[in-house]
Amino acid sequence: MKHILRIELIDADDSANAALATALHREGFEHSVAGRDGQRYRLPSGEFSYDGKATVHDVLEAAQRAANTTGKKYRAVATEVAGQVWAGLDPV
C-alpha cells in the first residue's frame, strides 16, 4: 500500500528536523514520490511517502517512533493513498 505522511516537530530547529528525516528514512519513509515517467519528485517540506505492506496505523506508529527519537513534540497525519497527482514538484 502507498501512504503519505505529514509530520511536523513543534519548536524544532533545523538540526531536530534533520534528525527526524534521518529517523524516518530508517523506518522506510522517502521524501519523494515516483512519477509515471520513473523519475522521483521531492515532496513538500514535512511530507514523506511510504510504500510497503503496512496499514495506515503501522505507518503512523513508525512515524511516531521516528519522531520520538528527537525528543520534541510533534503533529502527524498518515493517509493511505489510492492515487496521487501533483504539480510543481522538483525532480530529485
Tens digit of pLDDT at every position of the chain (92 positions): 899 999 999 999 999 999 999 999 999 999 999 998 999 999 999 999 999 999 999 999 999 999 999 999 999 999 999 988 999 999 99
Dihedral sign for Cα atoms in the order 4, 10, 11, 17: negative
DSSP E strands in the chain: the ranges are 2-9, 32-34, 40-42, 47-51, 74-81
50 and 5 in contact (C-beta within 8 Å)?
A: yes
Predicted pLDDT of residue 1? 87
Residue 38 has φ and ψ, to the nearest 5°, of 90, -15
Rounded distance, CA 89 to CA 92, Å? 9
